[in-house]
Amino acid sequence: MSRQVFLFDPPERFVAGTVGQPGDRTFYLQASGNGRTVSVALEKVQVQVLAERLEELLDTVRRATDTDVPVVAPRELEDTAPLDTPLEEEFRVGTMGLAWETDGERCVVEALAQPEDEAQAEVEPLSEVDDGPDALRVRLTADMARAFIARALRVVAAGRPPCPLCNLPLDPEGHICPRQNGHRR
């Protein structure tokens, strides 16, 4: 089956966001541009890892090249708006890939759909194959990438606070804490 690659080069907007209350949130990556919006669902930890790895990539590029890579996002790129609606999930993310294109001085972020079979599972992120899982591929300037990182880390941190004893998330009613021998905290 032929795969669909949703390409945004560059997007007008690329953000991480959530729908729902802390403890029951669904996380999304959303790219918009040229009158279309693509939303893909993923796990909270995937958002956090993507932001951290993207930050590491930018820091590595800044140290290793003469490229003018910003350390923080410009204020004018700060995005605090909610996700665009209607929110229609194209797919659930399985794997992701990151790269730096030196010729265009852009970060490339690719999110692949969870594979449906073994053949799709063998497709590497950022590959140019005709068959495989659907993909969201976004090419970002360094400024846009820093803005994405800042928002993604805020979205992840906006969840439930951690228990001071076991570091598991606290529900509004408390939780059964393993460090308290199963007693409610």
C-beta separation of 27 from 154 below 8 A:
no
In tens, the pLDDT along 120-145 reads 777 788 788 888 899 999 999 999 99
Residue 162's pLDDT band, with cuts at 50, 70 and 90, is confident
Q: Which residues contact 166 (CB under 8 A, 6 or more apart)?
A: 177, 178, 179
143 C-beta neighbours (distance < 10 Å), count: 16
Could you tell me the residue ranges of all domains in the chain?
5-115+127-180
- Predicted TM-score (pTM) of the model is 0.85
Q: Which CATH class is domain 5-115+127-180?
A: alpha beta
DSSP state for residue 122 in the 8-state scheme: T
CA 34 from chain centre, in angstroms, equals 21
Q: Which of 103, 94, 145 is nearest to 122 (CA)?
A: 94
Look up residue 11 and give its two tokens. Answer: 């997007």
